Amino acid sequence: MTTALRRLRNYIDGEFRDAADGRTTEVVNPATGEAYATAPLSAAADVDAAMAAAEAAFPAWRDLIPAERQKVLLKIADRFEERAEELIAAESENCGKPLALVRSEEIPPMVDQIRFFAGAARMLEGRASGEYMEGFTSIIRREPVGVCAQVAPWNYPMMMAVWKFAPALAAGNTVVIKPSDTTPASTVLIADIIGSVLDELGHPRGVFNVICGDRETGRLMVEHKVPAMASITGSVRAGMQVAESASKDLKRVHLELGGKAPVVVFEDTDIPKAVEDISVAGYFNAGQDCTAATRVLVHESIHDEFVAALAKAAAETKTGAVDDEDVLYGPLNNANQLKQVKGFIERLPAHAKIEAGGEQVGDKGYFFAPTVISGLKQEDEIVQQEVFGPVITVQSFADEKQAVEWANGVEYALASSVWTKDHARAMRMSKTLDFGCVWINTHIPLVAEMPHGGFKKSGYGKDLSAYGFDDYTRIKHVMTSLDG
C-alpha cells in the first residue's frame, strides 16, 4: 500500500501556489531514503510572479520606520518559539537530523538571531553629519538595496534561511528565497509563519516569498532583472556561477561558500579535552558544515597519542535514528552526497590509514560512520578538497612555521582553530591564519553579534552581526547648501 506524498507549494504574494506548469520533484527523507513529499519545480513564470510580488511590496516595506519592522521581526521570533515543534519536525524530516539536537542547537540560536536583527533595524550607522566644505552640510542615508534573491543550502536549511531573511527584512528589503531542492519543507513552513505575521500586522504580503526548485530555478532568480542583490550559501562552483550571472547587470552579490577549516593542535594542548571538543565539532551535523573541524594538524610529538584518542572518540560517537537522544548526528543529506563521501574514501592514497570508520552504516538512508584518517600529505585530495561528511583527517607538523604554511595551504578560508596554552603563540597564529574566523581552544561556537564569513574561495560578505546587516544596505550622500 503506497502512502500519499505530502504536497509542498511555493509561497508567492501571500498565497501558497503550485508551479505554474504543474511540475514537481520528490523530496526524500535522508534517514529512510524514501520520498515523503513533492515540491514545485519552479520555472520562469513562477520566478516572475515572486519577483513582481516582492517588487510591488518593496516601497511600503522600505518606507516603514525601523521600529515597525522591528515589531514584525520580534513577532516572527515569538512565533518561531510558539511553533517550535512544527519547525523541529519539518527540519528533521528535511535532513534526517536528530530531533533533540534540532530542539537544543537550532531553535534557540535562530530565535536569538531574528531578535538580534530586529534590534539592528534601529541602529543604522554612518559617518557624522557635518560641514566638510564651507557653506554645505553633508549627511549619510543608509537605505535598503531593494529586492533580494536568496538561495539557501541543504545542510542547515532552516537556520540559513534565518541568516538570509532576518537581516534583509530588518534593513527594509523584500525577499524571494529558494531552499535547496532536497530540503524545502522547513522553508515552506517558515513562509507560513512569516506570512501570518505580515497579515496580522497589516503589511504587504509580497514582503517574503518562497520559490521551490532546482539549480535552474536559482539561475533564473539570480539573472532576473528585478533583484538588486543575490545571496547564496553553497558550493564554490555555485558561488562562481552566481557571481558570473550577477555581473551581467552588476547586481550586488553575497557569497558564503565552502570551507576546509584547519584545526592546529600544539604539543601543550590538553589532549583529552581537545579530542572531545574537536570530535564533536567535526562530526556534528554529519560534518556537513563549512566550518566543521575536519582537517586536524597536530604536532609530531603528540601525534600518535592524539590519533589514538581521536579514533577512540570516533568509535564511541553514534549516528542513527532521529528519535534516539544518544546520537550526535544523522545521515548525509542525499544519495549524491553519500556517493561523494564514499568516493573520497575509495580514492585514498596508499600512504593514508583509516583509523576509524570509513564505511556506510545501515541498509537504509544515507548514514556514514564517524571516520578518522591519518598518514596524509598536504597535497592529498582529501586534505585539499571539502568532503562535507563525518571524516576527520590528521597531519603531523614539525613546527609553528610548517603548521601555518599547511593550514593556509588550501583554496578555502572560512574558519580555523588553534589549540595551545601559550597565549603569545595563540595571538601569533590568530594573526597569520588566513581565515575569516579563528577560534582558540574551541571550534564552531557562533554568536549573533559576531560576523561569519570567509576569504579566498570561501566567498565574500558576512552573515550575522552588524556587518551582515550592513551588507543588505546601501549608502547615499546628501549634501545641502547653507545659503538657503
DSSP H/E element including 28: strand 24-29
Q: What is the mean pLDDT of residues 374-379?
A: 98
Check 290, 355, 386, 437 and give the catalytic one: 290
- Residue 386: which region, alpha, beta or left (left: phi > 0; alpha: psi -120 to 50)? beta
| pLDDT band of 1, cuts 50, 70, 90 | very low
- Active site annotation includes 325: no
Residue 423 has pLDDT above 70, yes or no: yes
Using a pLDDT cut of 70, give the percent of the chain over it.
Answer: 99
Q: How many Cβ atoms sit within 10 Å of the Cβ of residue 14?
A: 18
Concatenate the DSSP letters of all residues of 319-372 into one string. Answer: B--TT-TT-SB---SSHHHHHHHHHHHHT--TT-EEEE--SEESSSS-EE--EE
| pLDDT band of 2, cuts 50, 70, 90 | low
The C-alpha angle 27, 30, 36, rounded to 5 degrees, equals 35
Q: What is the mean pLDDT of residues 114-143?
A: 95
CA 325 to chain centre: 24
Q: Give the whole-angstrom CA distance, residue 355 versus residue 379.
A: 20
Check 106, 256, 355, 386 and give the catalytic one: 256
Q: What is the mean pLDDT of residues 117-127?
A: 94
- Active site annotation includes 437: no
In the structure grid, which three cell numbers stand for residue 356, read together? 576509524
pLDDT (tens digit, 9 = 90+) per residue, 11-61? 999 999 999 999 999 999 999 999 999 999 999 999 999 999 999 999 999
Average pLDDT, the chain: 97
Q: What is the mean pLDDT of residues 127-142?
A: 95
CATH number belonging to domain 6-257+458-477: 3.40.605.10
Q: Where are the domains of the chain?
A: 6-257+458-477, 262-447
Same fold, 6-257+458-477 and 262-447: no
Residue 6 has pLDDT above 80, yes or no: yes
Assign domain 262-447 to its CATH superfamily.
Aldehyde Dehydrogenase; Chain A, domain 2 (3.40.309.10)
Distances (CA, A) of 86 to 91, 101, 169, 448: 9, 14, 23, 24
pLDDT (tens digit, 9 = 90+) per residue, 162-197? 999 999 999 999 999 999 999 999 999 999 999 999
Q: How many Cβ atoms sit within 10 Å of the Cβ of residue 47?
A: 29
Q: What is the mean pLDDT of residues 184-211?
A: 98
Q: How many Cβ atoms sit within 10 Å of the Cβ of residue 309?
A: 18
Amino acid residing at 32: T
